[in-house]
């Protein structure tokens, strides 16, 4: 099986924190290369992100903090980098990020490539830097070519590897990698994998982030209604087949968006073993 990594989001309640600890304990059986923790819009979850990262490190697993720059000053980013370095964090997922609704863009960074360049200038090789990429085109990109050039800029700025937005059409991933290679971008591009367990949640997420749900999948999910057992069984087949195609096609690893649950990712990995 391919190397794998796991993504979590910082819980907002004590109960959520307890559930996440239990889920992590189960998922560590998969021996992930690292676990990443997301950053809220405008850095709004920074405290929770850094706390979860610290816990993962204390549990003996490498942790990567997400790190967004929209709305941030260089001084603030410099301070946050110092905090992460003091925590002995070795990986950062560097993102442009989103501003909380109602706020203007602001800040001293406009693009993720600027953040990557700043991290490299400030910290040298202290951190392994992961960046995001979008096989189905970032929803705010002016064109597919502009999106590819934005990815190239992140690579040139000093990124080490990339994690994709989730997708369900393997052709979009392989085509994106081919086009990036033609531009001379040699970064490993790790597919982001979103298990399917809840149709309404998935459709809402996908509409918001620009991830394509193929029509046949959307219609099947809608046809199941509230039958969660059928949704989960169908999702396991669809995403399991996707992972197998990616594995056969030479993907360098798999990054699972766990949604802080152990079961769906464990089921997929058992199928792939």
pLDDT at 11: 93
Domain boundaries, the chain: 4-272
* Cα-Cα-Cα-Cα dihedral sign, residues 189, 161, 256, 27: positive
C-alpha triplet 22, 60, 80: angle, nearest 5° = 95
Taking 50 as the pLDDT cut, the residues of the chain under it are none
Residue 207 pLDDT: 85
Q: What is the pLDDT of residue 46?
A: 77
CB-neighbour burial class of residue 126 (10 A; exposed 0-12, middle 13-18, buried 19+): middle
The rounded distance, in Å, linking the Cα atoms of 135 and 144 is 9
* pLDDT tens-digit series, residues 79-91: 999 999 999 999 9
Global pTM reads 0.95
Interacting residues of 82 by C-beta distance below 8 A, sequence separation 6+: none
User: DSSP class of residue 100?
Assistant: P
pLDDT of residue 1: 82
Tokens linked to 249: 């096609």
* Share above pLDDT 70 across residues of the chain, in percent, rounded to a whole number: 96
Helices (H) and strands (E) in the chain, counts: 10, 8
State the residue for tokens 């690893």. 253
**Could you confirm whether 7 is annotated as catalytic?**
yes
**What is the pLDDT at residue 10?**
94
Q: Which CATH architecture is the domain 4-272 placed in?
A: Alpha-Beta Barrel (3.20)
Q: Give residue 181's pLDDT.
A: 98
Task: Say if CB 140 and CB 165 are below 8 A apart.
Answer: no
Task: Determine contact, residues 262/26, Cβ cutoff 8 Å.
Answer: yes
Alpha helices in the chain (DSSP H): 14-27, 46-58, 74-86, 112-123, 144-157, 170-182, 199-209, 215-224, 228-248, 263-272
- Torsion-angle region of 155 (φ positive above 0: left; ψ -120 to 50: alpha; else: beta): alpha
Given the residues 7, 114, 117, 130, select the one marked as catalytic.
7
């Amino acid at each position: 099986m391919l190397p794998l990594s796991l993504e979590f989001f910082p819980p907002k309640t004590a109960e959520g924190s307890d559930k996440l600890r239990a889920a992590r304990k189960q998922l560590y059986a998969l021996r992930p290369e690292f676990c990443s923790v997301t950053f809220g819009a405008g850095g709004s979850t920074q405290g929770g992100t850094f706390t979860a990262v610290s816990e993962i490190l204390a549990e003996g697993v490498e942790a990567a903090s997400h790190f967004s720059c929209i709305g941030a000053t260089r001084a603030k980013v410099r301070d946050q980098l110092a905090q992460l370095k003091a925590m002995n964090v070795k990986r950062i997922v560097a993102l442009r990020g989103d501003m909380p609704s109602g706020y203007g863009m602001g800040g001293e960074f406009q693009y993720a490539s600027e953040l990557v360049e700043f991290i490299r200038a400030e910290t040298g090789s202290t951190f392994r830097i992961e960046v995001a990429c979008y096989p189905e085109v970032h929803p705010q990109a002016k064109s597919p070519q502009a999106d590819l050039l934005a990815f190239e800029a992140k690579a040139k700025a000093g990124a080490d590897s990339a994690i994709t937005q989730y997708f369900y059409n393997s052709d979009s991933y392989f085509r994106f990698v081919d086009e990036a290679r033609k531009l001379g971008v040699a970064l490993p591009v790790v597919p982001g994998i979103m298990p399917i367990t809840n149709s309404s949640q998935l459709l809402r997420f996908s509409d918001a982030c620009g991830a394509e749900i193929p029509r046949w999948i959307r219609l099947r999910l809608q046809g199941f209604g509230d039958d969660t057992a059928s949704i989960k069984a169908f999702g396991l087949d669809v995403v399991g087949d996707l992972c197998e195609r990616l594995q056969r096609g030479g993907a360098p690893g798999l990054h699972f968006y766990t949604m802080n649950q152990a079961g769906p990712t464990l089921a997929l990995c058992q199928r792939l073993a």
